[in-house]
Chain A
Amino acid sequence: MPTLTSPIAGKVMAIQVAVGDKVEVDDELVILEAIKMETPIYAEDAGIVAAIKVKEGDAVKVGDALMVID
């Protein structure tokens, strides 16, 4: 089960998918805010969203798990 980890440090602004959604590679999954810029985080794997590990407003560091794609 691949885990999507955060490539940058920032604050979770929005989560664009829900558990159970089907996603494709390069789909926009999470929007982080870092250095006042909205940075969309894209899917690295295709599959079903199995779990979402963060919520809006959370601060994340590089390597923190964002969601699990099955």
Chain B
Amino acid sequence: MWEAMQDLLYSGGVVRLAPGQLIMWAIAFALIYLAIRKRYEPLLLLPIGFGILAVNLPVTALMEPGQGLIWYFYHYGIASGIIPPLIFLGLGAMTDFGPVIANPKTLLLGAGAQVGLYLTFFAALFAGFDLSEAAAIAIIGGADGPTTIYVGSMLAPHLLGATAVVAYTYMALVPIIQPPIMRLLTTRDERRIVMRNLRPVGTLERILFPLVTAVVVMLVVPAAAPLISMFMLGNLFKESGVVERLTKASENEIMNTTTIFLGIAVGATMTHETFLQPRVLFIFFIGLFAFAVSTATGILLAKLMNLFLKEKINPLIGAAGVSAVPMSARVVHRVGSEANKRTYLLMFAMGPNVAGVIGTVVAAAVFLSILK
């Protein structure tokens, strides 16, 4: 009887727990806490946190190639390059390009925030990574998860786990990293600025925008096609007004389903062996620096623009140039509403936010066409 109990104990995971796994548990519980208690992006943080926890329990083999449940999610969803464009399809169906069409100068802010991406590229080169690795790491500086995963799987598959982990750590940390920088660089009066008077945008403009953007971007940088085509198709569904069922499927069922599998699979890449490594932590620090710089340059560019603009923009929206769609736009909205509940910056921030994504996708495609 005693021996049977001993066998049961030794066939279980308890005795095989590594100290690193306990550290990963702490990270998982921290994310789950932030999701539930602080309501920090629960739709992503909850499955990611649970994925981290599940994969850091010994003997479960959830990420065992050809065997584990979550490995199949990862293999067929992410490594295949299918889920990132599907996320873009949903984002397209949810994205209102109206504020961009009505106020194209907010597009500049998206460019301002790409500075971080180039700094990351050179920082990674200096740190001894080769060109392809440096490009895969640099895309993290754009803070766009699906694009990072897409580029990582093409240019540096051996770093994909690390870059995906770091990119999604950023997605998770956007609400924590950005606000202090935003508050530091703006005055309360600037944060209180209410933006109004966006001109109404007509149906024809809304339908032409995704078509023109798709044609121009794919002609100039064909490697951007998988992400941009799905992004613009989703938006065309939405703006056409005639395929409501497809629009709803894209923004609800497809988006929600893929989010679950993306979240848990990305969380499950964070085993203690892959995550608690000097190389990963180093990538994390390079990107963290770039991310902070991107946030700062976006805000500073907005303040610079305000020197010339008659109708002031709320400089917080510059921070949304860090693509992290739509997380950084939400953070801008939240920080703005702390200063003044009725700023409603979400849609204004989507201008630079969307420009940031397009900028990051274009930069990614340039890397792909040069280096692949």
Q: Is B155 an interface residue (CB 8 A)?
A: no
Kindly report which residue of chain A lies nearest to residue B259, judged by CB atoms.
A36
User: With the chains together, A36 CA to B330 CA distance in Å?
Assistant: 9
A62 & B341 in contact (Cβ 8 Å cutoff) = no
Q: Is A8 an interface position by the 8 A CB rule?
A: yes
**B342 contacts A44, C-beta separation under 8 Å:** yes
Q: Tell me whether B330 and A35 are in contact (CB under 8 A).
A: yes
How would you classify the secondary structure of chain A's contact residues: helix, strand, loop or mixed? loop
B316 smallest CB distance to A (angstroms) = 15
Chain B residues, Cβ within 8 Å of A9: 96, 98, 347
Residue numbers in A under 8 Å from B43 (CB-CB): 36
Bound-state Cα–Cα, A41 to B342, Å: 8
With contacts A9-B96, A26-B342, A62-B98 taken as known, whether A37 is within 8 angstroms of B347 at the C-beta atoms is no
Q: Cβ of B288 < 8 Å from any Cβ of A? A: no
How many pairs of A and B residues are in contact by the CB < 8 Å rule?
Answer: 40
The answer, among A8, A36, A42, for a CB contact under 8 Å with B347, is A8
In the bound complex, how far is the Cα of B230 from the Cα of A70, in angstroms? 46
- Supposing A9-B96, A62-B98 touch, asked if A39 and B346 sit within 8 A by C-beta, the answer is yes
Q: How far is the CA of A63 from the CA of B347 in the complex (A)?
A: 13
A41 nearest CB across to chain B (Å): 8
Closest to B200 in A: A63
> A35 and B329: CB pair below 8 A?
yes
- Judged by a CB distance under 8 angstroms, whether B110 is at the interface is no
Size of B's binding interface in residues, CB under 8 A: 18
Residue of B nearest to A6 (CB): B344
Query: A24 to chain B: closest CB distance in Å?
Result: 12
User: Is B346 a contact partner of A37 (Cβ separation < 8 A)?
Assistant: yes
Q: At the interface, yes or no: A52 with Cβ under 8 Å from chain B?
A: no
Q: Is A2 interfacial (CB 8 A cutoff)?
A: no
Q: Contacts A9-B96, A62-B98; is A37 near B326 (CB within 8 Å)?
A: yes
Closest to A44 in B: B342
Q: Which residues of B contact A26 (CB under 8 A)?
A: 341-342
Most chain A beta carbons < 10 A, residue from B43, B347, B350: B347
Q: Is A34 in the interface zone, CB < 8 Å from B?
A: yes
| Cβ-based interface call for B333 (8 A) | yes
Check if A35 sits within 8 Å of B344, measured CB to CB: no
**Separation in Å of the B341 CB from the closest CB of chain A?**
5
A7 at the interface (CB under 8 A from B): yes
The answer to whether A42 touches B346 (Cβ under 8 A) is no
- Which residues from 312 to 326 on chain B have a C-beta closer than 8 Å to any C-beta of chain A? 326
**Residues of A close to B344: CB separation below 8 A:** 7-8, 39, 41
Docked pose: A41 CA to B344 CA in angstroms: 8
Which residues from chain B contact A34 at a C-beta distance below 8 Å? 94, 346-347
Please state if A42 and B341 are interface contacts (CB–CB under 8 Å): yes
The distance in angstroms between the C-alpha atoms of A41 and B341, with both chains bound, is 9
Q: Looking at the assembled complex, report how far the CB atom of A8 sits from the nearest CB atom of chain B, in whole angstroms.
A: 5
B340-360 vs A, CB cutoff 8 Å, 1 = contact: the mask equals 011010110010000000000
A37–B98 CB distance below 8 A? no
Nearest CB on A from B325, distance (A): 8
Top 6 nearest A-B pairs (CB, nearest first) are A7-B344, A35-B326, A42-B341, A37-B330, A26-B341, A8-B347
A–B complex contacts, Cβ < 8 Å, 14 sampled: A7-B344, A7-B347, A8-B347, A34-B346, A35-B94, A35-B330, A36-B255, A37-B330, A37-B346, A39-B346, A41-B344, A42-B342, A44-B342, A62-B198
